[in-house]
Structure 1
């Protein structure tokens, strides 16, 4: 959303306005100016320009959608008939909510190829009914062949988890990453460079979430019966746009986990 601002709106001095629009400007400013220093601050925009910008960015999505639908139909007249017939994805993708990592775009997959679940820092928590439901449905009903847990370097959730302070409502969620840090404290503390330490925790977090996927009854029972799905751990790099395969040894990890977490019949 923020990357299009400079092209569409020329900010003017902000006049005093309603309490609601002031709150909106403050909220938008926090998410925009810190990461996008070249984009004009929301604090310097008039209310009319804010309204215009919101309308334009909303309408642009529908313009893009119409163009996308027309392109797909031109290339394959049966595309939407095939799409509406049902889904049969090969992959379950569990990724981070970060807006820069859309699963289908970075992998070149098409609609229907991947069943996708995303949350902050790509976590798989056994108390999260959302992700547990997704895994269960993808494995039992869609019969996916691969489950990918994909993190990314520079993950804000991972960095926040390594910050020793009270983060309010985020504490219960980030505790899962802090637990990964605790398990690998010696290795991580031995890395002198802070960014390298963050990135290593990104990798370790992906590996731990792969373990959590393998701990589920749905995955264990399906693999015992069908020899799929296979669980993979990947990390996306913004510098080159490439995925790094962490080379998860699925069968070894499964065997180790089943010493304690064996849920097969």
Structure 2
């Protein structure tokens, strides 16, 4: 029931005040987070909880499948505010394994208006068709596509005028690609960072190279 949410809120606020009488005074005065989190809307992936960050420490934008549409005014407004006003130092694009949005993009069914939204995932799958075709297990293939989608969004984000302008002005600002495991609660760094120093850096290619090296190692073929 909705009344339960208000009851939980009252208990939470009281507990905060008991721990720190000035907590809400500080929180209401200013927010100065170092991180912008662009994640999936999935209710099982709350940014503050899985990173151990407190309110005010991370600025959050979420959508289905953590996608970066460069014509998305919602995302661009969040990005501009985070970069220009909050002056964040790190932007984290975080997907998660078993993503329903990624699955829906590739299941061959029509889902309605979200089909347009998910088109970038199909584009990523087409570009990486050889890599995905080499993975026989459906769940592993889905998770691989989740990783590649994150890498593609890092690259797309790096090409926005907002970030290009910030880097040209000498801003120290980096984009990171992570993926979260629902089965173990752990974050994985996909090592597809971008800080503006390599204009033509190909995030998907980097993630693919790392993946192939990991597969060789698990097969006993690594050095």
TM-score range, shorter chain: 0.7 to 0.9
Residues 113 and 252 from structure 1, CA distance in 2 versus in 1: closer, same or farther, beyond 3 angstroms?
A: closer
User: 2 CA distance for matches of 1:257 and 1:141?
Assistant: 27
Equivalent residues in 2 for 1:51-130, closer than 5 Å:
57-130=1-74
Aligned to 1:166: 110
User: 1 CA distance for matches of 2:198 and 2:38?
Assistant: 18
Work out the number of aligned pairs and report it.
Answer: 202
Aligned to 1:187: 131
Q: Give 5+ residue unaligned stretches, structure 2.
A: 203-223
1:175 and 2:126 matched: no
Q: Give 5+ residue unaligned stretches, structure 1.
A: 1-56, 259-265
> 1:219: how far off?
1.4
User: 2 CA distance for matches of 1:252 and 1:202?
Assistant: 24
Which secondary structure does the structure 2 equivalent of 1:71 belong to? Answer: helix
> 1:127: how far off?
1.5
Aligned to 2:150: 206
> 1:164: how far off?
1.7
Which secondary structure does the structure 2 equivalent of 1:203 belong to? Answer: helix
> 1:183: how far off?
1.2
Structure 1 segments of 4+ aligned residues over 3 angstroms from their partners: 251-254
CA RMSD of aligned residues (A): 1.6
**Structure with more relative contact order (C-alpha pairs < 8 Å, separation 6 or more):** 2
Is the contact between residue 154 and residue 199 of structure 1 (CA under 8 Å) also seen in structure 2?
A: yes
User: 1 CA distance for matches of 2:58 and 2:193?
Assistant: 22
> 1:257: how far off?
5.7
TM-score in terms of structure 1 length: 0.73
Which secondary structure does the structure 2 equivalent of 1:116 belong to? Answer: strand
1:152 and 2:102 matched: no
TM-score in terms of structure 2 length: 0.86
Which secondary structure does the structure 2 equivalent of 1:192 belong to? Answer: coil
User: 2 CA distance for matches of 1:206 and 1:172?
Assistant: 18
- Find 1:222's aligned residue among 161, 166, 177: 166
Equivalent residues in 2 for 1:10-89, closer than 5 Å:
57-89=1-33
Aligned to 1:49: none
Aligned to 1:247: 191
Which secondary structure does the structure 1 equivalent of 2:178 belong to? Answer: strand
158-167 or 89-98: bigger deviation = 158-167
Residues 235 and 253 from structure 1, CA distance in 2 versus in 1: closer, same or farther, beyond 3 angstroms?
A: farther
Which secondary structure does the structure 2 equivalent of 1:256 belong to? Answer: coil
Determine which structure has more spread, i.e. the larger CA radius of gyration: 1
User: 2 CA distance for matches of 1:125 and 1:249?
Assistant: 19
Is the contact between residue 175 and residue 195 of structure 2 (CA under 8 Å) also seen in structure 1?
A: no
